[in-house]
Amino acid sequence: MDTTSPTTAPRPLDSQAGNTLDVNALRQLFDRINADFSVQLATIQESRRIRNSRVNVESLREQKKLQPDETYIAVRVIDENIVRDMPAYLSYLKQSARIAIFKPMDGSTDPRMPRLESWFTSQICYCDPAWEIDYLQLIDGALCHGEDFVEVVYDVSKPGHVAVNHVGVDRLLYDLNYDDIQQSPLVARGYRLGPIELRQYADKGLFKPEAVQALIAALGNTSKSVSYDESPLPSCYKIYTKFQGQVYFCWYSPTVQQFLSDPAPFYNGLTVKREIQKLSFDQATFSMIPVTETVYEKIYEQVYPFVSLRKRITEDKNKTNVAGHARDSYYLQEAATTVTSALVNGTIQASKTMWAPDESSGLEGSTTKQIDFQILRNAIWSRPMRAFSAPYPDPMLINTLQFLDTRNGVATAQTAFAVANRKDSRKTATELSMAQQQTSQINSVQVLQLSICVRDICKRAWAIMRSEVLSNNLTLPAELAPDLFMRDYTISSAGDVDYVQRMELIQSMQQDWPILSTTPVGPLLLQDYIRARYPNDADRYIAAIQQQQQDTQLIQGLASTLQELATDDAGNLTPEAQASQNELQQLQSLVQQRLSGGMGGMAAQSANQAAPVQA
């Protein structure tokens, strides 16, 4: 959490009604946005409930909604779709050795760019806590709810003095009537702070002691247990608002309706270099002389520090219409759960044997009624009985589940999964290959949203790191010169090149391999494919292939030499070699078998291959 307090005094508050820095106006604005957000919050909590799909079967049986021998099989389609989409996003983040690419805006080429990119990656991909956690939460939230947020803030505890913190779509309040969060007159990030943290901030002078005491007392009186279907509301909010083109922040608790701090300009690590003239006493002349002093002044923010990730970008700019898998896959999940539960319960019911009096026992005129009792083993009936059971469920239920799986794969753009899951005899290797290629292309489009998000994060993080380096607050390694931080760069996400373009290259190689594998280009194409497909292990694989090629050439040479020594000019075995004819033939068979393996399944082509041994 950012708790940095600016050293420069805030501007005087204007008490005019409607002024966004007036605490009463801020409270009213917060209450309105918070009330409007309650509908969105209910949708988010419902999305989490249906995603987890936790059901107490015993409770349903006690409520007579299920029979004692029935069960409820939850098919978590929503969670499965989120897990299935995750690998493409994680590959985009993790399969690249760098997180961003820097290109000088003046178009020049600088060989030091890889070192700068490597340093920037090491600063923003910190280990304590693991930087991947916030990105995993961000991606998971966007896939589930349709959109989620991170906060890029100045934090001196991190290696690059930048932290990327996951916010959570239910912890960020803003006016949903605007297309962009930057247009919202107020943005509030919620925190659940306990008494220990509240007292610490009060001791540091960040929070008002009287407001903290009131909040601690209120939390003690309202504390209650929370079920897994609901999430406790934040105890306080860090409110951001814009006034005269500048962002201000303050802390507010709706629990006690008190401000924990007054509004102050928001500083997020940016500084500007200034040279000021001042008078200094010169001991040589015993007079005051003008001197130039370099100072770094804080630049207060003009934009909110939040970056969003959308699951899908459409032409609809209405924030309330943003949907993730929780809304898109809800009815498929309900259908799959209903059919699966019916199939299981029907099978259990059909597997049980029931008994009824035999019609030939002379009880035709008696009243038919159902009796609840337990059948004992090693016992006999007092009258003739007939055994029967309920019919087994229609096998079409299984086909219905198959259809739902296929439909889900198509709906979530998992074409390869849909084709592989389709139960028919018309699937071909070509169809499966085309489905996998189409899925890869769709994944490339899906991770474009992540590319936009990562690029925005890197731009904001670079601005803070650059400012810290130029103001001598961040130490550089010896191989990086300060002049690299005085230039302007076009920053892009490395995944665009290192993941998306690499996936496209791999697809092209796979398509061209059947044509080029038997040509002289084949070995080179195989090596390039291994480098693109397995970048971490490529050197080992290529070394093994090259060693195999050397072994093959050595075997061919030895076989040719042995052929010349063992045969005469007519190609027949010499008298000395005829005594070892069987051994020579076995050796020749082993050589042919070794050479036929080739590389990548190709047969070895050689003009020096020995002719068959003739007696």
Average pLDDT over residues 60-69: 90
* pLDDT band (50, 70, 90) for residue 91: confident
Q: Where are the alpha helices (DSSP H) in 517-537?
A: 522-533
Which token pair is 539? 């050197």
Report the pLDDT value the prediction gives residue 186, as an integer from 0 to 100: 95
Task: Report the distance separating Cα 599 and Cα 545, nearest Å.
Answer: 7
pLDDT at 428: 57
DSSP symbols for 587-600: HHHHHHHHHHH-ST
Residue 596 pLDDT more than 90? no
> Any idea which residue has 């041994």 for tokens?
613
Predicted confidence at residue 594, as pLDDT, reads: 63
Average pLDDT over residues 324-341: 92
Q: Please state, in angstroms and rounded to a whole number, the distance separating the CA atoms of residues 442 and 413.
A: 7
Mean pLDDT score, 520-540:
83
Model confidence at 523: pLDDT above 80: yes
pLDDT band at 252 (very low <50, low <70, confident <90, very high): very high
| Rounded distance between C-alpha atoms, residue 252 and residue 448, angstroms | 37
Strand partners, 265: 248
**What pLDDT is stored for residue 228 in this prediction?**
46
pLDDT at residue 16 in the model: 34
271: tokens are 């500084």
Mean pLDDT, range 13-34, rounded to an integer: 73
Pick the most confident of 281-295, 307-321, 458-472. Answer: 458-472
How distant, in Å, are the alpha carbons of 17, 131, 161, 464 from that of 154?
Answer: 33, 15, 6, 7
What is the structure's pLDDT at 375?
67
Distance CA 556, CA 563 (A): 10
The string of pLDDT tens digits covering residues 117-155 is: 999 999 999 998 899 999 999 999 999 999 999 999 999
The span from the CA of 442 to the CA of 433, in Å, is 14
pLDDT for residue 279 is more than 70? yes
Q: What is the dihedral of CA 573, 575, 577, 582, to 10 degrees?
A: 80
pLDDT tens per residue across span 444-468: 567 888 989 999 999 999 999 999 9
Length of the chain: 615
> Where in the chain are the domains?
521-615
* pLDDT above 50 for 8: no
Rounded distance, CA 168 to CA 315, Å? Answer: 24
Mean pLDDT of 37-64: 92
What is residue 11's predicted lDDT score, i.e. its pLDDT?
38
Confidence of residue 607 (pLDDT cuts 50, 70, 90): very low
Res 568 pLDDT > 80: no
CA distance 431 to 514: 16
Q: Which residue has the higher pLDDT, 48 or 432?
A: 48
